[in-house]
Structure 1
Amino acid sequence: MRLRTTLGSPASRCLAVVLAASLLVTACSSGSKDSSTSGKDGGTLVVGYTADPNTLDPWKATQFQAVRLLEQIYGTLTQLDADLGVVPGLAEKWQYADDNKTLTFTLRQGVKFQDGKPFSSADVKSSLDRLRDKATAAVAASTLATVQSVDAPDPNTVVLHLSGPDAGLLAGLATVNLAMLSKDDTSQTVAQKPNGTGAFTFASRTANQSITLKSNADYWGGKPKLAGLEFRIIPDETSMVSALQSGNVQFAVLNDPLVAKSAEGGGITVTKTPDLSYHVLQLNARNKPLDNLNVRLAIQCAIDRQQVLDTAALGAGAVVGPITSPAYKSDPDARPCPKRDVAKAKSLLSDAGLSNGVTIKTIVSTGEYATSVNEAQNLQAQLKEAGITLQLETLESGAYVDRWVAGTFDAAVALNGGRPDPDGMYGRYFTSTGNLNKVAGYSSPKLDELFAQGKATTDPAQRKAIYAQVSNQLEDNAVWVWLFSSYIFTATTQGVQGFKPMANGSLQFLRQTSVN
């Protein structure tokens, strides 16, 4: 397997300065179209997908399959380049003022929605106002926590008035969960027929079979080389490899290292990319007996994370702590039990008054990622030795996501997406006002204070120290049990060219992919 790397563009180097200083009163822009995406119409690329997206509403999408599909259709104010640097998106430049409490975006001109209506500041204001409204229940609303009001003084300008400096905002705005919708659309209408400004437009859907997109000739970054994309649902990764070998599928993302290895050769190229996503045993500290710190610590101490990695993913990855963002990465051994300690786990259970053992109901998904069941079974076997019974409830992907978003579980075996900035990664989970705090099952005044400091601080060294404290708070309180990060395995058949895999799992570079 070979690892592809991509050098940053001039725009990414310019914006790297903005990220490093976070809130410098400067502006960067990239006004020209990407010439790499121009050219004649190509064929339709068939993408193998292990699960049918559970929603077409970008503001509600948490399932990986839904997010990766919708980022083809929708645009965001900022976006990430191949190296996860912030670069212009629907906003071609921005400027901070008023001690970094006013952020002015200049929008691209000539951008259109799929229905032909022009994109303007009115759409941005409408989107941001609705995203901030609790009634919308947007999954990334916490990213906009510092936004107090939004003005649209003219069709090409949007002004955000902030309660204070927000170092993670520009990177946060790059997620499709904060996609710009037409002011004339609602969550209900886009859930049936997406209407975005992205490189591809929605064409058709056959439930549990396929979703078809066609290239957007009016895309501001240049018309894609592909004529279209077909996301074909094939729940089993081994069957996915067979489809690649037969030519029925030309592109697939694989999670199982053994399956990925079996795919190599015979005209199939497999690219291995380190993944920011993390495998985790989530614990809902609001439910008994997990509201007892000693019970959570006992679970943490009873698990050998390397064993889970070796068993479920053939050792293809690395044990991690809470934060996988490259500039803020946690020390995986900075926790109460860096190594498995069954005797300590039993002692902690005894201290909790549960010396006879405890049962934890745990949900696990099938279809969303390949190693989930193997992880769950290994965790179950390890914890049994300490008197902890994981009672597994296996759910198909859509049902699992519904339970996960609702927070109606005691524990969950999960694969969650990492982000380049730790505020965007965890601010919505572990703050008391975070819109996914119900999923996290834990918050504290100390974490609220630390996340507020992380947003307001512009110095990279200070931010690193703050998020190290966040990581320590999460580990010392055994909020969840962070296990490992693995790799993204991108499999392509002969003739597929131009795709750039990203560490956050994004498939955004399908916009510049071609196929013969």
Structure 2
Amino acid sequence: MNRKTMVLTAAAGLLTPALTACGSTSGTGAGTGAIVVGTTDRFEAADTVPAPFDPAYAYDAGTWNVLRQTVQTLMHTPRGGGQPVPEAASDCRFTDAGNESYRCTLRPGMKFANGDPLTAKDVKFSIERVLAIKDENGPVSLLSTLDTVETKGADTVVFHLKTPDATFPYKLSTPATGIVNQKMYDGKKLREGFAVDGSGPYTMKAEVKDNHLVRAVFSKNPNYKGDIKLQNDKVELRSFTDSAAMGKALTDGSIQMVSRTLSPAQIQDFAAKPPKGVKLVPMPGLEIRYLAFNTEAPVVKDKAVRQAMAAAIDRGSLVSKVYGKSATPLYSLVPTTVNGHVNSFFNKYGEANTAKAAALLKDAGIKTPVKVTLNYTNDHYGDGTAAEFAALKAQLNATQLFDVTVQGSDWAAFRPAQKKGDFAAYGLGWFPDYSDADNFLAPFLEQDNFLGTPYANTAVRSKLLPESRRAVDRSVAAPAIAEIQDIVADDVPVLPLWQGKQYVAARDGITGVEWSVNSISDLQLWELGRGVSG
């Protein structure tokens, strides 16, 4: 899942003035008004991004973090992480030994925020709508194993799968399967703009200027029925031009918490000498960054070129120079903390090795230096991206095997160009939809994948991915998962670079901060309250 950051001009970096008294929170303790959370996420409605908050379109963690507050799913990730548990449902389970039929029963008396009843027909409509719209930028690929949706009465829905998929409960915890009201959403068209209606813990009021969401105010939904326990009545999500402006607002008390993205320098400074009244909270994280390739582009079509880049790049140096303690080197698409991880790239190429890179190119008859442009988005992943690509350029050019240039562009132009295949090599990040190795492999390797890549491996698509999904005990899937990682290291359709760590900064007096972001970077605003924080 990709990320967006907001870039708008405004005095002192703030897009909006602070909210004044908006009502008390349901959490105990001092303070009134909305808890204000800062972000650098970008929310834009334009021709290239027509429906940022439509579950059939939204597929980045910034927009998903809005949807998670407002649009309910049958399942959700519990407070401490782990396997998903029922949310809008009271019970969900596989009903066959082959993991091809999954049944959910709704909680009694379910309603949308506007008071309309929520039934199994709404669940069926919502998920079939994602499949029918099949937006190329949307999350439809998450539903690749789904065949049909059946309702049984007003409260039961049965999902019939094409093939066994033990990860399906995880997919039902994502906003891709968010439940929407048939009265407000067209079954065949996107709902353009910033409107969002659901049955989640909050309703949302959007303030929009020049096609950008200026701020989102989340208010407690009185009709909410689910597994989540709210610790407040109101939260504001406010956007900033950059990390520096957001950090300043936190230190001067204009906002109470920062969800993302603190710059590497800020993390280092806050850790060494926290501003008065501010605490930095480290959290587990599963963000990864990688280079990806259009494997049909002439300059990188020969896999020896991609392999040579994999051998030449010094991940350790890249991380230490650009990201410091906020990242660690990564040698697989699957992060080190996820079951099934194998250091496949390290096993094949070792540490940065110019001699090995030269041998790979020579054996393939590739003339050097290889001229290649590395494309990146300059407004999407935070302040370190430009420095990261400058470092990659310096490393590869220093080998004299490559003649690298780098090119940055705004996300609104970058993503469509990348999907069309305009870039031979480009940088992207991934924040998982769910915490399973499958979600670090399938989105890049399946047909109709997130990258839109022409790369296809028959063994991966036809044998290994389906085999890995049969196992409810995910440790049983480890051999197939390991083999896929080894194939990726050999073919190099993508080149993993580093794994990120998460940090949240908050002011004293805000409770629940340690639960406000989980390992897959879900923002859980309902955990925040006011009181004496530890």
Which TM-score applies when normalising by structure 1? 0.86
Q: Tell me if structure 1 keeps the 8 A contact 2:295–2:301.
A: yes
- The one-letter code sitting in structure 1 at the alignment partner of 2:38 is G
Once residues 170 and 37 of structure 1 are traced to their aligned partners in structure 2, the CA distance between those partners, rounded to angstroms, is: 31
Q: Which residue of 235, 246, 251 corresponds with 1:245?
A: 251
Question: Is residue 233 of structure 2 the alignment partner of residue 233 of structure 1?
Answer: no
Seen in structure 2, the aligned counterparts of structure 1 residues 111 and 303 have a Cα distance that, compared at 3 Å, is same
Once residues 76 and 389 of structure 1 are traced to their aligned partners in structure 2, the CA distance between those partners, rounded to angstroms, is: 48
Equivalent residue, structure 2, for 1:369 = 381
Seen in structure 2, the aligned counterparts of structure 1 residues 405 and 210 have a Cα distance that, compared at 3 Å, is farther
Question: Is residue 118 of structure 2 the alignment partner of residue 119 of structure 1?
Answer: yes
After superposition, what is the alpha-carbon deviation per residue over 1:260-281, rounded to whole angstroms, capped at 9, x for unaligned? Answer: 2323231111111121111111
After superposition, what is the alpha-carbon deviation per residue over 1:196-243, rounded to whole angstroms, capped at 9, x for unaligned? Answer: 221221212222532333221222146733332322221321221111
Q: Which residue of 358, 361, 365 corresponds with 1:349?
A: 361
TM-superposed CA distance for 1:373, in Å, is 1.3
Q: Report 1:7-18 matches (<5 A).
A: none
Equivalent residue, structure 2, for 1:217 = 222
Equivalent residue, structure 1, for 2:162 = 163
Once residues 93 and 368 of structure 2 are traced to their aligned partners in structure 1, the CA distance between those partners, rounded to angstroms, is: 61
Q: Tell me if structure 2 keeps the 8 A contact 1:171–1:424.
A: no
Equivalent residue, structure 2, for 1:200 = 202
Q: Tell me if structure 2 keeps the 8 A contact 1:308–1:379.
A: yes
- The one-letter code sitting in structure 2 at the alignment partner of 1:225 is Q
Question: Is residue 236 of structure 2 the alignment partner of residue 262 of structure 1?
Answer: no
- The one-letter code sitting in structure 2 at the alignment partner of 1:473 is I
Equivalent residue, structure 2, for 1:10 = none
Once residues 406 and 465 of structure 2 are traced to their aligned partners in structure 1, the CA distance between those partners, rounded to angstroms, is: 33
After superposition, what is the alpha-carbon deviation per residue over 1:120-144, rounded to whole angstroms, capped at 9, x for unaligned? Answer: 1111111222223364446332332
Once residues 229 and 358 of structure 1 are traced to their aligned partners in structure 2, the CA distance between those partners, rounded to angstroms, is: 51
Q: Secondary structure at the match of 1:326?
A: coil
Seen in structure 2, the aligned counterparts of structure 1 residues 420 and 247 have a Cα distance that, compared at 3 Å, is same
TM-superposed CA distance for 1:407, in Å, is 4.8
233-242 vs 46-55, which moves further: 46-55
Q: Which residue of 348, 369, 381 corresponds with 2:394?
A: 381
Once residues 318 and 247 of structure 2 are traced to their aligned partners in structure 1, the CA distance between those partners, rounded to angstroms, is: 25
Q: Tell me if structure 1 keeps the 8 A contact 2:56–2:133.
A: no
Q: Tell me if structure 2 keeps the 8 A contact 1:38–1:223.
A: no
Seen in structure 2, the aligned counterparts of structure 1 residues 408 and 232 have a Cα distance that, compared at 3 Å, is farther
After superposition, what is the alpha-carbon deviation per residue over 1:327-370, rounded to whole angstroms, capped at 9, x for unaligned? Answer: 22222654421211112223333344432322223222233322
Question: Is residue 334 of structure 2 the alignment partner of residue 323 of structure 1?
Answer: yes
After superposition, what is the alpha-carbon deviation per residue over 1:304-337, rounded to whole angstroms, capped at 9, x for unaligned? Answer: 1111111111143322211126222222654421
Q: Tell me if structure 2 keeps the 8 A contact 1:225–1:514.
A: yes
Once residues 456 and 272 of structure 1 are traced to their aligned partners in structure 2, the CA distance between those partners, rounded to angstroms, is: 35
Q: Tell me if structure 2 keeps the 8 A contact 1:213–1:229.
A: yes
Equivalent residue, structure 2, for 1:108 = 107
Seen in structure 2, the aligned counterparts of structure 1 residues 435 and 126 have a Cα distance that, compared at 3 Å, is farther
Once residues 330 and 135 of structure 1 are traced to their aligned partners in structure 2, the CA distance between those partners, rounded to angstroms, is: 33
TM-superposed CA distance for 1:453, in Å, is 0.8
Equivalent residue, structure 2, for 1:506 = 522
Q: Tell me if structure 2 keeps the 8 A contact 1:48–1:234.
A: yes
Once residues 232 and 458 of structure 2 are traced to their aligned partners in structure 1, the CA distance between those partners, rounded to angstroms, is: 50
Once residues 390 and 218 of structure 1 are traced to their aligned partners in structure 2, the CA distance between those partners, rounded to angstroms, is: 56
Once residues 39 and 115 of structure 1 are traced to their aligned partners in structure 2, the CA distance between those partners, rounded to angstroms, is: 28
TM-superposed CA distance for 1:380, in Å, is 0.8
Once residues 237 and 384 of structure 1 are traced to their aligned partners in structure 2, the CA distance between those partners, rounded to angstroms, is: 30
Equivalent residue, structure 2, for 1:393 = 407
Once residues 328 and 130 of structure 1 are traced to their aligned partners in structure 2, the CA distance between those partners, rounded to angstroms, is: 33
Once residues 435 and 421 of structure 2 are traced to their aligned partners in structure 1, the CA distance between those partners, rounded to angstroms, is: 25
Q: Secondary structure at the match of 2:441?
A: helix
Equivalent residue, structure 1, for 2:20 = none
Equivalent residue, structure 1, for 2:49 = none
Equivalent residue, structure 1, for 2:456 = 443
120-129 vs 395-404, which moves further: 395-404
Q: Tell me if structure 1 keeps the 8 A contact 2:256–2:510.
A: yes
Once residues 108 and 430 of structure 1 are traced to their aligned partners in structure 2, the CA distance between those partners, rounded to angstroms, is: 36
Seen in structure 2, the aligned counterparts of structure 1 residues 39 and 147 have a Cα distance that, compared at 3 Å, is farther
Once residues 377 and 275 of structure 2 are traced to their aligned partners in structure 1, the CA distance between those partners, rounded to angstroms, is: 30
Q: Tell me if structure 1 keeps the 8 A contact 2:38–2:238.
A: yes
Q: Tell me if structure 2 keeps the 8 A contact 1:215–1:223.
A: no
Q: Which residue of 47, 50, 57 corresponds with 2:40?
A: 50
Q: How many residues align?
A: 478
339-348 vs 152-161, which moves further: 339-348
Q: Tell me if structure 2 keeps the 8 A contact 1:37–1:512.
A: no
TM-superposed CA distance for 1:165, in Å, is 2.2
Once residues 406 and 77 of structure 1 are traced to their aligned partners in structure 2, the CA distance between those partners, rounded to angstroms, is: 34
Seen in structure 2, the aligned counterparts of structure 1 residues 395 and 384 have a Cα distance that, compared at 3 Å, is same
Seen in structure 2, the aligned counterparts of structure 1 residues 390 and 274 have a Cα distance that, compared at 3 Å, is farther
Question: Is residue 325 of structure 2 the alignment partner of residue 311 of structure 1?
Answer: no
After superposition, what is the alpha-carbon deviation per residue over 1:154-184, rounded to whole angstroms, capped at 9, x for unaligned? Answer: 1100011223321111112211232222223
Once residues 137 and 110 of structure 1 are traced to their aligned partners in structure 2, the CA distance between those partners, rounded to angstroms, is: 35
40-49 vs 391-400, which moves further: 40-49
Q: Secondary structure at the match of 1:85?
A: coil
Once residues 37 and 480 of structure 1 are traced to their aligned partners in structure 2, the CA distance between those partners, rounded to angstroms, is: 46
- The one-letter code sitting in structure 2 at the alignment partner of 1:61 is A
Once residues 407 and 227 of structure 1 are traced to their aligned partners in structure 2, the CA distance between those partners, rounded to angstroms, is: 46
Seen in structure 2, the aligned counterparts of structure 1 residues 345 and 435 have a Cα distance that, compared at 3 Å, is closer
- The one-letter code sitting in structure 1 at the alignment partner of 2:160 is H
Question: Is residue 444 of structure 2 the alignment partner of residue 434 of structure 1?
Answer: no
Q: Which residue of 428, 444, 452 corresponds with 1:414?
A: 428
